[in-house]
Chain A
Amino acid sequence: MITFDEIKKAFLVSIWFMFLTFPIMVIRVNPVEHIVEWRWKNMLVVGIGSFLLSFVWNYLMKRKELGFKKAESGEETGTIPLVQRILGEKKIYIPALVVAGIFTIAFPFIFSLYQTNIMVSALIYVMLGLGLNIVVGLAGLLDLGYVAFYAVGAYAYALLNYHFGISFWIALPIGGLLGATFGILLGFPVLRLRGDYLAIVTLGFGEIIRIILENWNEFSFGPSGIANIPRPSLFGINLSVHESTIYIYYIMIALCLFTVFVVNRLQDSRIGRAWIALREDEVACQAMGIDKTKTKLTAFSLGATWASMAGVMFAAKTTFVNPASFTIWESIIILCIVVLGGMGSIIGVIAGALVLILMPEYLRAFSEYRMLAFGVLLVVMMIFRPGGIIPNVRRVYTFQGVKNTDKS
Chain B
Amino acid sequence: MLKLKNVQTFYGNIQALKDVTIEISEGEIITLIGANGAGKSTTLMAVCGIVPPRSGEIFFMDEPITGMEPDKIVSLGICQVPEGRRIFPYLSVAENLDMGAFLRNDRAEIKKDMEYVFDLFPILAERRHQAGGTLSGGEQQMLAISRALMARPRLLLLDEPSLGLAPLIVKQIFEILSKINAENNTTIFLVEQNANLALKVAARGYVMENGRITLTNSSKNLLADEEVKKAYLGL
Q: Is the interface of B mostly helix, strand, loop or mixed?
A: mixed
Check A287–B127 contact: CB distance below 8 A: no
Residues of B within 8 A of A288 (CB): 74, 79, 99-100, 102-103, 147, 151
B90 within 8 A of A: yes
Where chain A touches its partner, the secondary structure class is helix
- Number of B residues with CB within 8 Å of any CB on chain A: 34
Min CB distance B221 to A, Å, is: 32
Known contacts A284-B88, A395-B90; is A290 also within 8 Å of B129 by CB? no
Contact of B88 with A289 in the complex, beta carbons under 8 Å: no
For chain A residues 258-287, which have a beta carbon within 8 Å of chain B? 270, 273-274, 276-277, 280-281, 283-287
- Collect the chain B residues with CB atoms within 8 Å of residue A401's CB: 92, 127, 129-131
Do the beta carbons of A287 and B74 come within 8 Å of each other?
A: yes
Which residues, 290 to 304 on A, are CB-close (under 8 Å) to B? 290-293
A122 to B190, CA, bound (A): 56
Instruction: Determine the residue in chain B with the shortest Cβ distance to A293.
Output: B69
Asked if B98 is an interface residue, CB under 8 A from chain A, the answer is yes
Mask of B103-137 contacts with A, CB within 8 angstroms, 1/0? 10000000000000000000000110111001000
CB pair A273–B89 under 8 Å, yes or no, is: no
In Å, the complex CA distance between A289 and B87 comes to 14
Specify which chain B residues have a CB less than 8 angstroms from the CB of A290 in the assembled complex: 71, 99, 102
In the docked arrangement, what's the CA distance between A291 and B95, Å? 18
Tell whether B86 is near chain A: CB-to-CB under 8 Å.
yes
Q: Do A273 and B79 touch (CB < 8 A)?
A: no
Min C-beta distance of A192 to chain B, whole Å: 13
Q: Which residues of A contact B102 (CB under 8 A)?
A: 270, 274, 288-290
Closest to A287 in B: B80
CA distance A288 to B143 in the complex (A): 13
| Interface residue total, chain A, C-beta cutoff 8 A | 27
Q: Are B48 and A280 in contact (CB under 8 A)?
A: no
Shortest CB distance A321–B (Å) = 40
Q: Are A394 and B74 in contact (CB under 8 A)?
A: no
Q: B198 an interface residue at 8 Å Cβ cutoff?
A: no
Instruction: Check if A402 is an interface residue, CB within 8 A of chain B.
Output: yes
Beta-carbon contact of B130 and A398 below 8 Å: yes
Residues of B close to A286: CB separation below 8 A = 48, 50, 70-71, 74
Mask, B75-93, CB within 8 Å of A = 1, is 1000111100011111110
Contact status B88-A277, CB under 8 Å: yes
A-side contacts of B74, CB under 8 Å? 286-289
A405 part of interface (Cβ distance < 8 Å): yes
CB of A398 within 8 A of CB of B134, answer yes
The reply to whether B89 and A280 contact each other, CB–CB distance below 8 Å, is yes
User: In chain B, what residue has the closest Cβ to A408?
Assistant: B126
A394 to B89, alpha carbons, bound, how many Å? 12
- Tell me how far the C-beta of A394 lies from the nearest C-beta in chain B, rounded to whole angstroms: 7
Q: Could you write out 30 A-B pairs with CB less than 8 Å apart?
A: A273-B99, A280-B88, A280-B89, A280-B90, A280-B91, A284-B86, A286-B71, A286-B74, A287-B48, A287-B70, A287-B79, A287-B81, A287-B86, A288-B99, A289-B74, A289-B75, A289-B102, A289-B103, A290-B99, A291-B71, A292-B71, A398-B90, A398-B129, A398-B134, A401-B129, A401-B130, A401-B131, A402-B131, A405-B130, A408-B126
Q: Interface on B for A, CB 8 Å cutoff?
A: 48, 50, 69-71, 73-75, 79-82, 86-92, 95, 98-100, 102-103, 126-127, 129-131, 134, 147-148, 151
